[in-house]
Structure 1
Amino acid sequence: MDIQQSLTILNSYNKDTLMETLKIEFIDVGTDFITAKMPVNSRVHQPHGILHGGATAALAETVGSCASAFFLKDNSKIIKGIELSINHIKSKKNGTIFATAKAIHQGRTTHLWEVKIIDEKDILISLCKITNIVLDKK
């Protein structure tokens, strides 16, 4: 499957979800990473006019969870996030942020991902770690 086909599939899951609400869009996929972007504007601000940490966390969990499912390639399994840790390094008022998930560990039942969130100037905004569990679909 080529990159464009992969991105089309990944983005098709966003309809009628939080990802669609936040305008999260998958923009790149490689052999060991997935990247998505999200616009930063008043829709994702907290009351002080800067990017809300919860919106950043939603982006990180989206990319990390989708990476587990995408690279697992097993339709009999479902991925669920069980822990998210995020450090907010720099605030952001507007523009675009980019989240890239890279695997730290991909076991049979758990996956651990590092998600780096940067802005359009390659400045680190947040650094995240997400743990996912791999379960049988019921």
Structure 2
Amino acid sequence: MPNLPSLDQLNALGTGRLPGLIGIRFTHAERGLLRSEFTVRPELLAPNGFLHAASVVALADTTCGYGTRMLLPEAANGFTTIELKSNHLATAREGTVTCEARAVHAGRTTQVWDAEVRGPDGKVLALFRCTQAVLYSKG
């Protein structure tokens, strides 16, 4: 199996893209388990002053997606999200929001990942699950 990317390499992937714009930082990476975070700032809030649900989903989906990359079969050339679901249980207005994503299934054609997003006080803000389709070149 190929070597795991370093945290610096993972964080660099988001530069100039949505993860970088949101400020997602990876803090832990191993096969099947990733942790990430971002600092709440006004741009990530909804007009009502609470953390926008899309910010939470972006954190969870990015963390699961980077994990998916790390578990792709050797012959695969990529993946795409085919389904995601999130249950939002609480919110945050400031501080650091964290995410822990775990592989539930890492097969040849699909991967399923679960993530928990937590607020600065450790309270669960959202539960997230996504299914990724593993892509192969035709030929």
Maintained 8 Å contact 2:78/2:134: yes
RMSD after superposition: 1.7
| TM-score where L is the length of structure 2 | 0.90
The answer for the alignment partner of 1:48 in structure 2 is 48
Moved >3 Å (runs of 4+): 73-76
Distance 2:39 2:109 in 1: 33
- Identify unmatched segments of 5+ residues in structure 1: none
Change (3 A) 1:76 1:111: closer
The answer for the alignment partner of 1:91 in structure 2 is 91
SS at match of 2:61: helix
Tell me the CA shift for residue 56 of structure 1. 0.7
SS at match of 2:39: strand
The answer for the alignment partner of 2:81 in structure 1 is 81
Tell me the CA shift for residue 102 of structure 1. 0.3
Distance 1:74 1:101 in 2: 22
Deviations 1:5-32 (A, max 9, x none): 5212211211110011100011111343
Maintained 8 Å contact 2:35/2:100: yes
Amino acid at match of 1:60: A
Distance 2:128 2:121 in 1: 19
SS at match of 1:21: helix
Identity %: 27
- Identify unmatched segments of 5+ residues in structure 2: none
The answer for the alignment partner of 1:132 in structure 2 is 132
The answer for the alignment partner of 1:25 in structure 2 is 25
Distance 1:17 1:56 in 2: 16
Question: Once structures 1 and 2 are overlaid, which stretch shifts more, 127-136 or 74-83?
Answer: 74-83
Change (3 A) 1:112 1:62: same
SS at match of 1:62: helix
Distance 1:120 1:134 in 2: 34
Distance 2:55 2:75 in 1: 28
Amino acid at match of 1:78: G
Give the number of aligned pairs.
136
Maintained 8 Å contact 1:78/1:137: no
The answer for the alignment partner of 1:101 in structure 2 is 101
